[in-house]
């Protein structure tokens, strides 16, 4: 079995709990969502996106070549869980090779995640707020996804992109979903990079205070890789 891979590269993690850590990134083609602020050209089914079909063995070989000193292998996209069958073969092999597996996901495909969760170590789960992403709400999907991660005692953290349009009611609803599962879940408020300004940072700080009413660890962390100009 093969999967469409956009790129495999080494860099530092630019977002979330492990920002600054050296990782290998495996970027999968395709996504089931279309967020207004998405900065990844490899999210859709566009034939213009450069990618190649690789087998599990080929992915493992390329990862091994560039993995020295890396904290983890980050599976990103797009949405990696669209490639469930491929991941069913890849994840155990990554674990067997001694790698920490870091899944970056939009937190919607909970059934697919349930099938793979045993071989995932770190779960970087996005919350797609309707007012930020400009799309239909995914509250039920996010709640069920987070429940799987927490119940399996994974190293899970949530990331919430904040834009100038983000509504307080959406922040409160996301906060309450996280608090119901585990108030100690690490939570990142990520200011949308193209909108970063004093008003947006002020808004993030206000939302941080709102979230801290129910959650124990809420941090404002931008996309660091954008500021230091690395992939």
Mean pLDDT of 32-44: 61
Inter-residue contact 85 to 30 (CB < 8 Å): no
pLDDT at 22 over 80: yes
User: Distance between CA 14 and CA 184 in Å, rounded?
Assistant: 22
Question: Would you state the pLDDT for residue 66?
Answer: 97
All structural domains of the chain, each given as residue ranges with its CATH number in brackets, are 2-227 (3.20.20.70)
Question: Would you state the pLDDT for residue 42?
Answer: 43
User: Distance between CA 91 and CA 120 in Å, rounded?
Assistant: 7
pLDDT at 181 over 70: yes
Mean pLDDT of 28-51: 67
CB atoms inside a 10 Å sphere around CB 89: 16
Inter-residue contact 99 to 120 (CB < 8 Å): no
pLDDT at 48 over 70: no
Nearest alpha carbon to residue 90 among 79, 76, 105, 101: 101
Residue 62 parent element (H or E): helix 56-65
pTM across the whole model? 0.92
Mean pLDDT of 200-213: 98
Question: Would you state the pLDDT for residue 33?
Answer: 73
pLDDT at 39 over 70: no
pLDDT band at residue 37, thresholds of 50, 70 and 90? low
Which pLDDT tens digit goes with each residue over 122-154?
999 999 999 988 888 899 999 999 999 999 999
Give CA angle at 112 (106, 113), nearest 5°. Answer: 65
């Amino acid at each position: 079995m093969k999967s469409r891979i956009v790129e495999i590269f080494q860099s530092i993690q630019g977002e979330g709990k492990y920002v600054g850590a050296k990782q290998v990134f495996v970027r999968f083609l395709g996504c089931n969502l279309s967020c207004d602020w998405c900065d990844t050209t490899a999210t859709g089914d566009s034939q213009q996106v450069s990618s190649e079909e690789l087998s599990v063995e080929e992915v493992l070989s390329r990862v091994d070549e560039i993995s020295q000193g890396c904290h983890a292998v980050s599976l990103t996209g797009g949405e990696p869980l669209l490639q469930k069958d491929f991941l069913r073969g890849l994840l155990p092999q990554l674990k067997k090779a001694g790698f920490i597996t870091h899944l970056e996901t939009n937190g919607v495909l909970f059934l697919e995640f349930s099938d793979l969760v045993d071989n995932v170590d770190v779960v970087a789960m996005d919350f797609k707020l309707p007012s930020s992403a400009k799309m239909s709400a995914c509250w039920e999907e996010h709640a069920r996804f987070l429940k799987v991660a927490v119940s399996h005692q994974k190293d899970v953290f949530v990331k919430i992109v904040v834009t100038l349009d983000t509504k307080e009611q959406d922040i409160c609803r996301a906060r309450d979903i996280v608090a119901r599962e585990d108030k100690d879940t690490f939570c990142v408020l990520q200011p949308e990079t193209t909108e970063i300004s004093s008003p947006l940072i002020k808004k993030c700080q206000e939302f941080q205070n709102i979230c801290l009413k129910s959650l124990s660890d809420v941090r404002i962390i931008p996309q660091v890789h954008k500021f230091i100009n690395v992939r």
